Amino acid sequence: MIEINNISKSFDGTQILDDISGKFERGITNLIIGASGTGKSVLLKCIVGLITPEEGEVLYDGRSFLKADKEEKAQMRREIGMLFQGGALFDSKNIEENVMFPLDLLTDMKKDEKLDRVNNVLSRVGLENINKKMPAEISGGQKKRVGIARAIVNDINYLFCDEPNSGLDPRTSLLIDELIQEITHELNVTTIMVTHDMNSVMGVGEYIMYLARGKKVWEGNSDNILTSGQEDLEDFIFASKFMKKLRKTL
């Protein structure tokens, strides 16, 4: 479980995150949603420690990143996997080296153990026989899959995904969302996923935190999001004309 308490962050005097608190449970896909520019990515970066918030704390099963010493931090790093928006694969390394990188860095495993592990996770995300390809030679959807493989190659407890399905067609998006949800259940990890895609929200939203103007405005899940009665959120969900029409029929 990840707990965030009273997170605030501003850039150059503009308040981006304003006193955000919440709990993300283990074993379910937790979503952070909201319009573009509301600070979802900033919040996720605060959670993984890429940005230090001005106020508030982040607790990984009770452990605080900011207060951890070097050993504890290294241990926590090993338990974290992150999938970036564009995959963020290292251009100069091939697929196998990319996925193996966290193992090289954070474990003392032997070369063939590592290779086994890499092939395992690659087949888990549905990719085989692309070990020696370079990132530039594979499709966007495949990059996301490799990104997921790299994120879960260590025995992780926490999985973070920043817009895992941006730039993908609806069908591939769905497959990626479902893959993330399956992995979350299978490995029993705490997953936090940032998205503004309503298909993902309805498909895999086991817990949903809705942000608007840097504040947490609503929380719930895909079962009660359509009936929240929250004006802001409804505007967000039923943004298109089509959805507005659909809403009248609900």
Partner 1 sequence: MKSIGAYFIFLGSMFVRRESFSSYFKLTINECISIGWNSILIVAITSTFMGAVTTVQTAYNLVSPLIQNYVVAQVTREMVVLELAPTITAIVIAGKVGSSIASGLGTMRITEQIDALEVMGVNASSYLVLPKIIAAMIMYPLLVVIAGFLALYGGYIAGTMTGILTETEYVYGIRIDFNPFTIQFALIKSVVFAFLIASISAYQGFFTTGGALEVGKSSTSAVTKSCIAVLLADYILAELLLN
Ligand X SMILES: Nc1ncnc2c1ncn2[C@@H]1O[C@H](COP(=O)(O)OP(=O)(O)OP(=O)(O)O)[C@@H](O)[C@H]1O
Interface residues toward ligand X, by CB under 6 A: 11, 16, 34, 36-42, 196
User: Other C-beta atoms within 10 Å of 200: how many?
Assistant: 27
Q: CB 162 → Mg ion: shortest distance, Å? A: 6
The partner residues of 2 in beta bridges, in order of sequence, read 24, 60
Q: CB 158 → partner 1: shortest distance, Å? A: 11
Nearer to ligand X, 21 or 123 (CB): 21
Q: CB 126 → Mg ion: shortest distance, Å? A: 26
Nearer to ligand X, 40 or 150 (CB): 40
* Contact partner at residue 16 from Mg ion, ligand X, partner 1, none, CB < 5 to 8 Å by partner kind: ligand X
180 DSSP assignment: H
3-state secondary structure of 56: strand
CB 173 within 8 A of CB 199: yes
Nearer to partner 1, 79 or 234 (CB): 79
CB 190 within 8 A of CB 25: yes
Position among 41, 173, 190, 195 found at the interface with Mg ion (CB under 5 A): 41
Q: Contact residues for partner 1 (CB under 8 A)?
A: 45, 48-50, 73-74, 77, 80, 82, 84-86, 88-91, 101-102, 105-106
Q: CB 86 → partner 1: shortest distance, Å? A: 5
* Total residue count of the chain as it appears in this document: 250
Contacts of 31 (CB under 8 A, 6+ apart): 192, 193, 194, 195, 200, 201, 204, 205, 206, 207, 208, 209
Q: CB 104 → partner 1: shortest distance, Å? A: 8
3-state secondary structure of 86: coil
Number of residues that bind Mg ion (CB under 5 A): 1
* Contact partner at residue 37 from partner 1, Mg ion, ligand X, none, CB < 5 to 8 Å by partner kind: ligand X
| Separation of alpha carbons 151 and 122, rounded Å | 11
